[in-house]
């Protein structure tokens, strides 16, 4: 007999994306340059096949048709990001009227099609002028971000009722200050920690401004890429490695954003290596008093770790890798195109942790998805037969359903992504969309998974 997986009434079915990855029009209508526009001009060879963010999926010109397609494949919600460098070119000063018109049109179009807009204020796209004065290392940039956030609330808050301060705020710190995959391409753990702290503070500053406006029926949250840290074994050394990985990569944002304070063990760890960030008591007070209303959870893969095999080079660069090694578990299931493990239960483990240790705060799965290279191999009768993506989604939804049955306060599931979009550095190498995009003609074609998603949303679940 088939098992039914029904989700709560009013469940959010939809997808997520970001401005830089779909809008295109990178230098049109007064848009300023962000870090990606700038870095692409400096070193195009760092980008897959030399493809930059100039055109991407051309959502800037095609948003009306795209939003109709969203409705057609069952979306009742959609998370997009506002481009700081489009709205306020240079990051500070005059608001760009054409950008206001564009975002107003997108929001209105979503609402007219019965799709709830969820707006992200920052998704990896610092205006280059702000980065040149230090990015989130700089107190001035924090002030400018706060003013940008307030501007967004005032312009769009009458219709946007769900806000996100930051998407995956740890990633710019990892990529830009530790691991060489984002601009400004610095390797300095102490600076990375300062950027992380300042981003938490910036989020609290935005929430404080949001609360002052007292916008009716509105909530503000943050999206974190939570990656469960699984130890190789129950040996104390492996358990310690997993605990430190969890402190550094999950709890460094989860605790201050949800609970308003940092874990003592993380503070002690950083202090013992003389790597505490610079902060004031007023900063800590602001963070404590401006926690999130809800939490977006991005989940793609687990983190498996073990105790260090070898002592780190005492003269080498100090990084999180001093504390653990990656553990390659025999028999793990992989997405070979992305090099990521597929482990559906991770989504359940995250949500049970949020239920038990974070007050069961309202949450939703804000990203989950599977990137595959060369999907044109799977075209039959003009449609990409991406059964692998359907199986991937189903596998995660089963564990999500179990978490909800066990009392987790989960409001929705968003896939990355609605349509194939440009990826930072990877361009169009791996495709994630429910809808395929021909990057030469910009033609959109619904994949098999898109039709399946439509039925999933219509039935508010699936049976198997």
- Which of 367, 375, 376, 406 is flagged as catalytic? 367
Our answer to whether residue 367 is catalytic in this structure is yes
For residues 269 and 274, give the distance between their C-alpha atoms in angstroms, rounded to a whole number: 9
* Look-up of token digits 């104390």: 236
Residue among 271, 266, 240, 273 nearest 252 (CA): 266
Contact 429, 50 (CB under 8 A): no
- By CB atoms closer than 10 A (0-12, 13-18, 19+), residue 311 is exposed
Separation in Å, CA 419 to CA 14, 22, 450: 11, 9, 9
Q: Which residues are catalytic?
A: 367
């Amino acid at each position: 007999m088939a098992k039914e997986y029904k989700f709560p009434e009013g469940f959010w079915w939809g997808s997520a994306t970001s401005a830089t990855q779909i809008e295109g029009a990178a230098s049109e209508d007064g848009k300023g340059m962000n870090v990606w526009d700038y870095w692409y001009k400096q070193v195009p060879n760092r980008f897959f096949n030399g493809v930059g963010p100039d055109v991407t999926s051309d959502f800037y010109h095609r948003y009306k048709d795209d939003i109709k397609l969203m409705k057609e494949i069952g979306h009742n919600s959609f998370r997009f990001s506002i481009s700081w460098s489009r709205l306020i070119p240079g990051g500070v000063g005059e608001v760009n009227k054409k950008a206001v018109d564009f975002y107003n049109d997108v929001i209105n179009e979503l609402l007219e099609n019965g799709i709830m807009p969820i707006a992200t204020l920052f998704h990896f796209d610092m205006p280059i002028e702000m980065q040149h004065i230090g990015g989130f290392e700089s107190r001035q940039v924090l002030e400018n971000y706060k003013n940008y956030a307030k501007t967004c609330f005032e312009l769009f808050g009458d219709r946007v009722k769900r806000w996100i301060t930051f998407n995956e705020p740890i990633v710019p710190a990892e990529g830009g200050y530790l691991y060489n995959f984002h601009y400004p391409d610095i390797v300095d753990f102490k600076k990375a920690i300062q950027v992380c702290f300042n981003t938490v503070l910036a989020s609290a500053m935005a929430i404080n401004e949001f609360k002052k406006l007292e916008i009716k029926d509105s909530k503000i949250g943050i999206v974190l890429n939570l990656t469960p840290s699984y130890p190789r074994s129950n040996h104390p050394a492996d358990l310690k490695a997993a605990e430190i990985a969890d402190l550094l990569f999950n709890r460094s944002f989860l605790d201050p954003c949800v609970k308003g304070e940092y874990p003592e063990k993380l503070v002690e760890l950083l202090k013992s290596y003389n790597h505490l960030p610079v902060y004031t008591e007023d900063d800590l007070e602001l963070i404590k008093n401006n926690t999130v209303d809800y939490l977006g959870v991005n989940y793609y893969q687990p983190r498996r770790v073990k105790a260090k095999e070898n002592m780190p080079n005492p003269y080498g660069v100090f990084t999180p890798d001093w504390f653990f090694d990656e553990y390659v578990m025999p028999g793990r299931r992989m997405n070979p195109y992305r090099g990521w493990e597929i482990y559906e239960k991770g989504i359940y483990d995250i949500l049970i942790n949020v239920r038990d240790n974070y007050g069961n705060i309202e949450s939703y799965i804000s990203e989950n998805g599977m990137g595959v290279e060369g999907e044109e191999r799977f075209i039959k009768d003009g449609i990409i037969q991406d059964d692998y993506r359907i199986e991937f989604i189903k596998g995660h939804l089963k564990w999500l359903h179990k978490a909800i049955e066990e009392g987790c306060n989960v409001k929705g599931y968003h896939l990355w992504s609605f349509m194939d979009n440009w990826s930072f550095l990877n361009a169009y190498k791996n495709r994630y969309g429910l809808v395929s995009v021909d990057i030469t003609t910009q033609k959109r074609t619904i994949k098999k998974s898109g039709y399946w998603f439509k039925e999933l949303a219509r039935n508010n679940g699936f049976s198997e």
